[in-house]
């Protein structure tokens, strides 16, 4: 791990004027965010990392600060970001934020067909910088934040302007800068909708289309059970149970197994706490609602969970496995590092 750059943590109102003053003296900022989407049902933006000029500010978004003074200033700046889709959607859902203009270094790396397009491998390639991995799956809502996480957050934005300059020059050399500008404009517009909410077909996961009516009824019931349980426990649904287990229960139902056969499974450390509600959900297959009986067609939207999605072009966790092929730009829609 390289030595972290100097930075200022902003978590008190008295520190806010220096942040605003830094914004007022620059035309662009490098920007990143950290969230707790791996630990909560409803994602919260926890930290805002900003490089304004030569100063790095780490702004605690969970602190009682006058953010209404910050967002208009930020919206007026040209942004330099890496994997901006997730961050821009988070900020839109937080405060209606919409970027003015953008250069996304991940998009640039894709258009250059680089073999690895995550921020860590790009920093290692061009600057010899090695980033720690702990920050990628950390709980950023914990306070106080450990020193190593704060250092990691500062490094996220420190090299972005220099990385932008390198990639921009390469795009110009290959005649692809226009494609980059087009994609960044598209990204700004796409993020203005925030994260999609679950729709009436969100329960159709995995190989659900191969299930018969009985299996689809069970899948509908247990998928909604998982959403309700995750909401009650304030946990992401994948921490309640994975999709494979839901599909397995549905397949058992399709195979004609009785209720006890469908429920012969281990739900992990929460088993005793949640198996009763799961049992009740499975029993609903015997009395499916009208919409469910139409080949388990649609049961109405799951209430209210924004789905911090995995827009393919911006999936920072999968970035190193998904370089774009060389050729015409094909923006892909609708994904933490």
Residue 116 backbone dihedrals phi, psi, to 5 degrees? -135, 125
In order of their start, the domains of the chain are 8-196+308-321 (3.30.420.10), 208-293 (1.10.150)
Burial class from Cβ neighbours inside 10 Å (0-12, 13-18, 19+) for residue 314 reads: buried
> Is cis: bond before 144, omega within 30 of 0?
yes
**Which pLDDT value is given to residue 92?**
97
Q: What is the pLDDT of residues 266-312, one digit of tens each?
A: 999 889 999 999 999 998 765 544 544 454 444 444 444 555 544 43
**Which pLDDT value is given to residue 305?**
54
Residue 22 and residue 173: Cα distance in Å, rounded?
33
Three-point CA angle 242, 248, 252, nearest 5° = 155
Residue 310 backbone dihedrals phi, psi, to 5 degrees? -125, 65
Residue 282 and residue 305: Cα distance in Å, rounded?
22
Q: What is the pLDDT of residues 241-273, one digit of tens each?
A: 999 999 999 999 999 999 999 999 999 988 999
Residue 316 backbone dihedrals phi, psi, to 5 degrees? -70, -25
**Which pLDDT value is given to residue 196?**
84
Residue 246 backbone dihedrals phi, psi, to 5 degrees? -65, -45
Burial class from Cβ neighbours inside 10 Å (0-12, 13-18, 19+) for residue 202 reads: middle
Burial class from Cβ neighbours inside 10 Å (0-12, 13-18, 19+) for residue 25 reads: exposed
Query: Model-level pTM?
Result: 0.81
Distance of CA 142 to the CA centre of its chain: 18
Nearest partner of 221 among 299, 276, 295, 301, judged by Cα: 299
Residue 270 and residue 225: Cα distance in Å, rounded?
14
**Which pLDDT value is given to residue 303?**
45
Residue that the structure tokens 């059970």 belong to: 225
Annotate 53-63 with b (16+ C-beta within 10 A) or e (fewer). Answer: eebbbbbbbee
Distance of CA 93 to the CA centre of its chain: 12
Residues of the chain short of pLDDT 70, as ranges, are 1, 285-337
């Amino acid at each position: 791990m390289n030595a972290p750059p100097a930075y200022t943590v902003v978590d008190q109102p008295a520190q806010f004027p220096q942040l605003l003053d830094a914004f007022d003296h620059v035309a662009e900022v490098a920007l990143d965010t950290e969230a707790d989407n791996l630990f909560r049902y409803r994602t919260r933006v926890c930290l805002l990392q900003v490089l304004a000029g030569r100063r790095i500010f780490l702004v605690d978004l969970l602190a009682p600060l006058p953010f209404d003074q910050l967002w208009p200033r930020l919206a007026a700046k040209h942004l330099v970001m890496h994997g901006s889709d997730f961050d821009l959607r988070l900020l839109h859902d937080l405060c209606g934020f919409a970027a003015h203009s953008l250069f996304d270094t991940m998009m640039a790396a894709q258009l250059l067909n680089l073999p690895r397009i995550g921020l860590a491998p790009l920093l290692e390639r061009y600057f010899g910088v090695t980033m720690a991995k702990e920050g990628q799956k950390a709980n950023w809502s914990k306070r106080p934040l450990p020193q190593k996480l704060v250092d990691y957050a500062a490094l996220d934005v420190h090299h972005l302007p220099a990385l932008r300059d390198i990639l921009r020059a390469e795009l110009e050399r290959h005649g692809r800068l226009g494609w980059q500008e087009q994609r960044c404009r598209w990204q700004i517009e796409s993020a203005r909708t925030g994260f999609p909410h679950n729709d009436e077909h969100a329960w159709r996961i995995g190989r659900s289309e191969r299930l018969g009516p009985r299996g689809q009824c069970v899948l509908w019931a247990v998928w909604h059970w998982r959403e309700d349980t995750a909401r009650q426990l304030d946990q992401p649904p994948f921490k309640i149970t994975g999709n494979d287990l839901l599909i397995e229960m549905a397949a058992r139902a399709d195979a004609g197994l009785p209720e006890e056969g469908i429920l012969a499974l281990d739900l992990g450390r929460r088993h005793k706490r949640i198996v009763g509600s799961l049992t009740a959900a499975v029993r609903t297959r015997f009395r499916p609602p009208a919409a469910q009986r139409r080949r388990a067609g649609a049961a109405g939207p799951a209430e209210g969970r924004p789905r911090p999605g995995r827009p393919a072009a911006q999936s920072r966790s999968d970035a190193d496995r998904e370089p774009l092929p060389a050729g015409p730009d094909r923006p892909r829609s609708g994904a933490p590092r």
